[in-house]
């Protein structure tokens, strides 16, 4: 997943972290995953969430379990390259919401 995304901003307010990432629309995943109508692969959304949450928690470990993974709306990385991941890293398990502007893209629970 090298160079697939870049964290643009991350802030924690009242325990809730909001991390904004920008998808590299030139990455091979974006070009190959439905070239005429690109969609960010769900596996990539999960992988980004794991990277951001484990980094925020200060642990580089594997996630023990994924629960309640729901893909709510397809995400076109060319039309909306920015995604926001919202979660409370102090909680365990960690509930993560993925948003593109005001559109809910995915929700998942990470057991770390």
- Per-residue pLDDT tens for 57-87? 877 667 889 999 999 999 999 899 999 999 9
Q: Where are the domains of the chain?
A: 5-111
Q: What is the pLDDT of residues 18-50, one digit of tens each?
A: 999 999 887 666 666 566 788 888 989 999 999
Question: 5-111 in CATH: which number?
Answer: 3.10.129.10
pTM over 0.85: yes
Q: What pLDDT is recorded for position 75?
A: 92
Q: Is a pLDDT exceeding 80 seen at residue 91? A: yes
Q: Report the distance separating Cα 78 and Cα 72, nearest Å.
A: 18
Q: 111 - beta bridge partners?
A: 65
């Amino acid at each position: 997943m090298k160079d697939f995304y870049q964290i643009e901003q991350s802030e924690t307010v009242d325990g809730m972290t909001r991390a904004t990432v920008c998808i590299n629309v030139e990455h091979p995943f974006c070009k190959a995953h439905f070239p005429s109508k690109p969609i960010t692969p769900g596996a990539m959304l999960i992988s980004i969430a794991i990277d951001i949450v484990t980094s925020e928690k200060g642990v580089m470990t594997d996630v023990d379990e994924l629960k309640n993974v729901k893909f709510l709306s397809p995400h076109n990385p060319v039309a909306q390259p920015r995604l926001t991941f919202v979660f409370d890293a102090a909680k365990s398990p960690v509930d993560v919401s993925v948003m593109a502007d005001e559109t809910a893209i995915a929700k998942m629970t990470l057991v770390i």
